[in-house]
Chain A
Amino acid sequence: MRLNMKLAQRAGLAIFALWFPLAAVAGEAVPVAEDPVLEQRMIALSEDLRCLVCQNESLAGSRAELAQDLRQEIRDQLRAGKSDKEVINYLTQRYGDFVLYKPPLKPLTWLLWFGPFVLLIGAAGGFYLYLKRRGARLAGESLSAEEKQRVEALLRNNGNES
C-alpha cells in the first residue's frame, strides 16, 4: 500500500511540473479562524484541558462534539474579553478539577506536586547516610592477606576499562 502511495506521489510530481505556472496566479489562503491570535490563545488554553467524553485526550486534540462546543465557548469568552483564568474558572465550576490536566496546587495535591522532590531529597540523603555507614563498616573490617592481593589486582586491572 505504501508502495502505491510512492507511485502516486511520483505521478503527482509529474502533474505538478505541468501545473506549476498556474500556481503563480493562485490566491493566498486564509486561516480557518477569523482571529488567528485569539485562536492561538484558545488552543494554548485547551491543550491543558481534558476532553470529558474522550478516553484521554485534550480539548484541543479531540474531535468529539462536546469538545468542539467547548472550544467554541472558550473562543466566545475570550473574544468577550475574559481572561484565561476566568475561562478556566468557568469550566471548573461546571466540570470540577477533572478538566484540568494541570491539577491546581492545594492540600490534596501537595503529595503530587512535592512528592517527586521530597523523593529526590530523601533518596540523596539516604545515599549519603549509606555511604557514611558503609565507610565506617569497611574501615572496621581489617584486610586479610588474600583481600590485599585482590585489591592490588583490582588496582592494576582498573586503569582504562570502562
Chain B
Amino acid sequence: MKRFLIPLGIFIVLVIFLGIGLKLNPREVPSPLIGKPAPDFRLALLSDPSRQMSPADLRGKVWLFNVWASWCGSCRQEHDLLLSLARQGSLPVYGMDYKDQPGDAQAVLARFGNPYVETFIDLDGRAAIDYGVYGVPETYLIDKNGTIRYKHTGPLTREVLDGKILPLAKELQR
C-alpha cells in the first residue's frame, strides 16, 4: 500500500510548485549586478552632446538610473511618475537614452516634460549591455558608493516606487 502512495505524493509536491509558479513571471530576469559596483561608462549628454559624463561623477549621491527610449511605448507609461518624482526632488533621476535618435528623445522630453537631471546617450546600446538591460524601460537604484542596490524591469509603478525604491533610497541617503 505504502509504495503505491509514492506517485500521489510526488504529484502533490508538483501541484504545489505549479501553484506557486502561477504567480511568477518566467521571463523576468533577476539582475546579478545587485550589490555590485555600477558599471562605468563615459557618454555624451542629451542636453549638450558635446559634454560627457560618467556615473563616477555621481559618487556621494544616491540616484535613480532610468533606461528609456523615444521609441519605447511603455516608457511613456512611467513618464508621469518620473516627473512627479523629479518635482518632489528627494531622489535625482538620471536617464539613459537607449539606441535612439537624440533628436527624437529631445522631442519627447520637450513635449512630455523632462524628469531627468541629465540623460546619457547610449547610441549603440553597449553601455546598456553592461548593465544587463534586456528591455526598456529598466530602472536602477545606485547608492553613494556607486553600488547597484535595486533593479526594476518594465515601467515603474506607484507601488514599486513608494513601496520599495523610495524607502530604500531614504535609508541609503542617511
The finding on whether chains A and B are genuine partners in a shared complex, rather than unrelated, reads yes
Report A's interface with B, CB cutoff 8 A. 52-53, 55, 65-66, 69-70, 73, 92-96, 98
Docked Cα-Cα span, A98 to B130, in Å, equals 16
Docked Cα-Cα span, A65 to B69, in Å, equals 14
B125 and A96 within 8 A (CB): no
Known: A94-B33, A98-B29. A53 touches B99 (CB 8 A): no
User: Number of contact residues on B: which range applies?
Assistant: 10 to 19
**Can you list 17 A-B contacts with CB-CB less than 8 angstroms, sorted by A residue number?**
A52-B29, A52-B135, A53-B135, A66-B125, A66-B134, A66-B135, A69-B129, A93-B33, A94-B33, A94-B129, A94-B130, A94-B132, A95-B29, A95-B132, A96-B29, A96-B30, A96-B31
Docked Cα-Cα span, A32 to B144, in Å, equals 47
Docked Cα-Cα span, A52 to B30, in Å, equals 11
Docked Cα-Cα span, A62 to B124, in Å, equals 19
Q: Identify the interface centre among A69, A70, A95, A96: most chain B CB within 10 Å of its CB.
A: A95
Q: Which chain B residues in 77-131 approach chain A with CB under 8 Å?
A: 99, 124-126, 129-131
Starting from the known contacts A96-B32, A98-B30, 11 additional A-B residue pairs (CB-CB under 8 Å) come to A53-B135, A65-B99, A69-B124, A69-B125, A73-B126, A73-B129, A94-B129, A94-B131, A95-B132, A96-B31, A98-B29
B99 and A95 within 8 A (CB): no
Q: Which chain B residues in 29-75 approach chain A with CB under 8 Å?
A: 29-33
Docked Cα-Cα span, A93 to B34, in Å, equals 11
